[in-house]
Amino acid sequence: MENYDAIVAGAGIWGCTVARRLAEAGKRVLVLERREEAGGNVRCETDAETGIEVHTYGSHIFHTHIPEVWRFVNRFTEFNGYQHKVLARYRGKTYFLPLGLALVNGFFGTDLTPPELAGFMADENHSKALFDAFFRGYTSKQWGRPPEEIDPAVIKRVPVRSSYDINYFNDMWQGIPANGYNALFEALLDHPSITMRRGVEFRLDGGRGMAGGDMLPPARIYYSGPVDALFGCKFGHLPWRTLRFERETLSVADYQGTAVVNYTEAEVPYTRIHEFKHYHPERRETMALGKTVVMREYPAAWKPGDEPYYPVDCAESRGLLSRYMEEASKVPGLTVGGRLGAYRYFDMDRSVEAALAVDVEWSDWRGSDPRPQH
């Protein structure tokens, strides 16, 4: 087998960014991906019937305030400037998220101004009513537990503002790749020093990498799969939440008027409905089409074999993660990262930021083990 300087296991956004940086630093890189295509859970597909680009694993919107990240991704794609709006359905009515003047005034039938909002929300009855309506049921569905048992940081991720700004994200730069996410990943991996093998599982055997049944030549390893799986889950499985999707093509031009609508009541089994044509308003032919593609998203308990989506932060998982990271620290030349490897929820820009911080400027070490990378 050909020799490589680095092996990147997992071709999601962290892995593809690391692979590109390694290649541009003069390294020969082998990228291994267990699926048939790169992109991880950001992978998209074009619906054969409508031509609408569907986010296969749920909606992904690129947004960032980090200049280095924005400059990097713009080397490989243009963005369409899409601004994300999220609506919420509660008891038959539709409201604007995030939590701000539009939601508060719409829900309570008030006409508050920005200086009045903080005092209004200081009333525990008001804050509890909003929490019960828009977060209690949604959170319990998402995590399979009462919201009181959830790390408060999860709920604090919901944007809060004292204005009528209904853009869900307040980052300076936002959008969807104009040619789709798949084109972004193809561009990242389009380098003569990058070789990709698809449909192969990566594992460790005595500190050496294995691709399927083949032993790989010695190389630095950059791994972004589940960190427990890297060590055969010998301490037990890290807990995750998973998702199930139901996709449907409808004979209407516009089903819900926006890309994402949250369904906040616990009695509604799904958390949200995605309508993908809204991510590309510049594609006039699909916007004008008398059909649309929607997808209902159902959170579910994870079991081995399911796709892991969201790490479950609890005392048990923190203890397990510590043990697996200690094992990783013993493997020379191993770097573990990405959402699955780090066992952390990352927005896409944070995954790119972490990948940009990885050391790729090391010297060739042919004939000996690479120095540790942790």
Residues noted as catalytic: 157, 161, 241, 272, 297, 345, 347
Task: Judge contact between 100 and 163, C-beta under 8 A.
Answer: yes
Q: Where are the beta strands (DSSP E) in 251-290?
A: 260-263, 272-275
The C-alpha atoms of residue 9 and residue 24 are separated, in whole angstroms, by 18
Q: Which phi and psi angles does 338 have, rounded to 5°?
A: 80, 175
User: 3-state DSSP call for residue 250?
Assistant: strand
Q: Where are the beta strands (DSSP E) in the chain?
A: 6-9, 29-33, 44-46, 53-55, 62-64, 86-90, 93-97, 173-175, 194-198, 202-205, 208-211, 214-215, 220-223, 240-250, 260-263, 272-275, 292-301, 310-311, 334-336
* Residues facing residue 335 across a β-bridge: 222
Locate 310 and state its tokens. 């969201």
* Residues facing residue 173 across a β-bridge: 64
Task: Judge contact between 69 and 77, C-beta under 8 A.
Answer: no
Quick one: which of 73, 44, 46, 77 has its CA closest to 58?
Answer: 44
The one-letter amino acid at 245: F
The C-alpha atoms of residue 328 and residue 147 are separated, in whole angstroms, by 33
CA end-to-end span of the chain: 27
- Per DSSP, 361 falls in state -
